[in-house]
C-alpha cells in the first residue's frame, strides 16, 4: 500500500558538468603526449578534475575521453523518497588531480539549480534545492549545513593541486504538496564549472 506521505522521486539529480578551462593563451590540454626537441623532451600537462558522488564513491573524470562534459547522476544514491515537508541529501567531491607542474589551483562553482517536471508530472513547483560547500561528503546530510543558505546561492570553492572540495545538495519537498502528486517525479540539474586561477 502506497503511503500518501511518501513521494518517490526518480531520476532526481543530474549534475551536468561543464569544463571552462582558461590559460594565458585561452586553450587547455586534455592529453598527455611527449614530443622530442633539441633541448630534450617536452610533455604536455594532463588537466584532470574528478567527481565522486555521496554514497557509491564512484569516481568519474569531469571530461570524458572524447572531450565532452561528464554527467553524474545522483538518483541512485541518497535521493529517492522525499516526504512532504522534509528533505533528502546528496553531494559531490571535486578533486584537482592534474599532473601540471607548479602551482595549479582551480576554482569550482555551481550554477543555479534547474528543477523540471518529467513527462506527466506537476511536481517541480513543490521542490527546492540548496547548495552548500563542506569539507567532506559525510557532512552533506547534516541539515544545519544549509541554515541561512538561499535557494539561488551558487557556492565557490578554490581547490589546490591534489586537493579537493565538496558541494552538498539539499532537496526539499514542500509540506503543501497535494496528495494527488504522490508518486510523480522531477529532475534537478546543477551545472558545476571549473576554471584555472
How far apart (Å, rounded) are the C-alpha atoms in residues 119 and 77?
22
Strand, helix or coil for residue 124: helix
**Which among 190, 191, 197, 110 is positioned nearest to 158, based on CA atoms?**
197
Asked if 79 and 65 count as a contact pair (C-beta separation under 8 A), the reply is no
C-alpha cell at 69: 562534459
- Phi, psi for 116 (deg, rounded to 5): -130, 150
C-alpha cell at 82: 522525499
190 sits in the region (left: phi over 0; alpha: psi -120 to 50; else beta) called beta
Find where cell 539561488 sits.
152
Q: Please report, in tens digits, the pLDDT of each residue of the chain (197 residues total).
A: 443 333 333 333 343 343 333 333 333 444 445 555 565 555 556 677 888 877 667 788 877 777 777 777 765 444 556 778 888 888 899 998 887 777 888 899 988 888 888 888 888 898 899 999 999 988 988 999 999 888 778 899 999 999 999 999 998 888 998 888 887 878 888 888 888 88
Asked if 127 and 176 count as a contact pair (C-beta separation under 8 A), the reply is no
C-alpha cell at 33: 603526449
So what's the pLDDT on residue 77?
40
SS3 letters for 14-57? EEEEEECCCCCCCCCCCCCCEEEECCEEEECCCCCEEEEECCCC
C-alpha cell at 1: 500500500
How far apart (Å, rounded) are the C-alpha atoms in residues 72 and 21?
19
Amino acid at each position: 500500500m502506497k503511503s500518501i506521505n511518501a513521494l518517490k522521486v526518480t531520476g532526481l539529480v543530474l549534475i551536468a558538468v561543464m569544463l571552462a578551462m582558461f590559460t594565458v593563451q585561452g586553450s587547455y590540454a586534455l592529453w598527455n603526449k611527449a614530443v622530442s626537441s633539441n633541448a630534450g623532451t617536452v610533455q604536455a600537462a594532463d588537466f584532470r578534475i574528478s567527481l565522486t558522488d555521496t554514497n557509491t564513491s564512484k569516481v568519474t573524470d569531469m571530461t570524458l575521453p572524447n572531450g565532452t562534459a561528464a554527467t553524474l547522476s545522483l538518483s541512485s544514491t541518497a535521493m529517492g523518497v522525499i516526504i512532504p515537508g522534509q528533505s533528502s541529501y546528496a553531494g559531490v567531491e571535486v578533486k584537482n588531480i592534474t599532473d601540471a607542474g607548479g602551482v595549479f589551483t582551480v576554482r569550482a562553482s555551481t550554477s543555479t539549480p534547474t528543477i523540471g517536471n518529467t513527462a506527466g508530472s506537476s511536481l517541480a513547483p513543490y521542490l527546492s534545492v540548496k547548495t552548500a560547500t563542506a569539507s567532506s561528503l559525510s557532512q552533506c546530510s547534516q541539515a544545519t549545513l544549509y541554515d541561512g543558505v538561499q535557494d539561488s546561492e551558487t557556492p565557490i570553492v578554490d581547490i589546490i593541486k591534489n586537493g579537493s572540495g565538496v558541494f552538498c545538495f539539499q532537496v526539499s519537498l514542500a509540506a503543501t504538496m497535494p496528495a494527488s502528486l504522490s508518486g510523480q517525479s522531477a529532475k534537478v540539474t546543477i551545472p558545476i564549472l571549473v576554471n584555472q586561477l
